[in-house]
Structure 1
């Protein structure tokens, strides 16, 4: 588990971290804007244009992919890393995020260029990229992702990054009080609320990703949207680990 204390940061970097964290925390607790209600209505109409079989396939894929990646052996072998300072640790995290953003952008452009069939294939591919990034970020912050509850923490970070305003405050509070919350978590992954997880994730990204299914503009949309979604997840992960390591509330 990450071990640098708050005092081991330079005063300037400490101030920067506190400011960034405070702005992010405020964003997590903001009330739902009117615009998001309108966006939800538009999203619902767009969803009706997509065949139900495709919706079912995406939902099934999300659960199987997340379970396979998070609780299989494929990505859980990253060992916790040690660094001389918290600032250096975060420099490596930022480098990781940049690398994964570029990877996701290329993947989105390729699948977006293929229209609706390739667009559907983008969902599992993007999920794998995001989850692999979370494993690498966790290890860089010094956490052992081979532990079951650390993988559940990654799942919670993922939820927080892509939750609706109605659900976000609840997930944020889990992260904020993670140590006490984790004590009551079940040991069986099937006890996790997969339905809510799937619906929240789909509802969040569907509106942005639907345009990727449109021929001609799909490649450009896929590249930009994937880049932004990975950035959003990376920012959430950084701030979640900052709260845990620095005991900030």
Structure 2
């Protein structure tokens, strides 16, 4: 492997160490509180929310599959793919900032619209990231991988470690994975963003909070996607 690939390998290893560290106390307390709230919610409500998000995500996946330029990174080196990925992240951060500021400034009704809009932006970005790193999202297992990247970015400590293991061993795991655990998928995502966007509906500061939170969420998702695809491209420990 060349020097750049060695550098990337080291970056990925450092990212994995950070990713698997235990969350801070505030995040752990928040997760525990959210877990209690989820226990109080009626099972029928959970079922409705799960089916709603499942339908929303699948519709977004279908639309993104059609609109993504699948040949945009053909023939590029890993360094060139990384640079293109960073440009995509920056572009989608700007889109998310505008969306978050607009819905945050619009009060409760527009604030409620933020969830599906942000989800659409995030899924569209993940399709772009897959294309940048040379993976064909027309294949079912690649769309399933996208959902695992999403879950890796927005989940609690235990789920994050498990999902990272799935991604590191994707070539074997994809043979036995049939479908996402949609209940887990939607609960982990909601719990994660609830804390990040807690004050978005507050008049006067909603626009700022929405813009700031969305910018950070896309930055985090971008870093996660880059490194998840790098893991798949770097199949073994590089040697000088």
TM-score computed with the length of structure 1 as normaliser: 0.84
Partner residue of 1:182? 174
Q: In the TM superposition, what are the counterparts of 1:143-154 in structure 2 within 5 Å? A: 143-154=135-146
- Equivalenced residue count is 230
Segments of structure 1 that go 5 or more residues without pairing to the other structure are 1-5, 48-53
Q: Kindly tell me: are residues 41 and 29 of structure 1, through their superposed partners in 2, closer, same or farther at Cα, counting changes over 3 Å?
A: closer
Q: How does 1:21-40 map to 2 (within 5 A)?
A: 21-40=12-31
SS of alignment partner, residue 210 of structure 1: coil
Question: Match of 2:65, SS?
Answer: coil
Cα pair distance change 1:115/1:91, threshold 3 Å:
same
Q: 1:45 to 1:150 in 2, by over 3 A?
A: closer
The whole-number CA distance in structure 1 between the counterparts of 2:211 and 2:174 is: 36
Q: 1:220 to 1:205 in 2, by over 3 A?
A: same
Query: Which residue pairs with 1:75 in the alignment?
Result: 64
> Structure 2-normalised TM-score?
0.87
CA contact (8 A) 2:50 2:182 kept: no
Q: For residues 202 and 55 of structure 1, what CA distance do their matches in structure 2 show? A: 12
CA drift at 1:64 = 1.9
Gaps of 5+ in 2: 39-44
- Indicate which of 164, 168, 173 corresponds to 1:172: 164
Assess if the C-alpha contact under 8 Å between 2:144 and 2:180 holds in 1. no
Alignment check: 8 A CA contact 1:111 1:222 kept: yes
RMSD (Å) for aligned C-alpha atoms: 2.5
Partners of 1:43 and 1:221 in 2: CA distance = 20
- 1:14-53 to structure 2, matched below 5 A, reads 14-40=5-31
SS, match of residue 211 in structure 1: coil
Please say if 1:196 is aligned against 2:195: no
Q: Which residue of 2 aligns with 1:156?
A: 148
* Counterparts of 2:200 and 2:98, CA distance in 1: 13
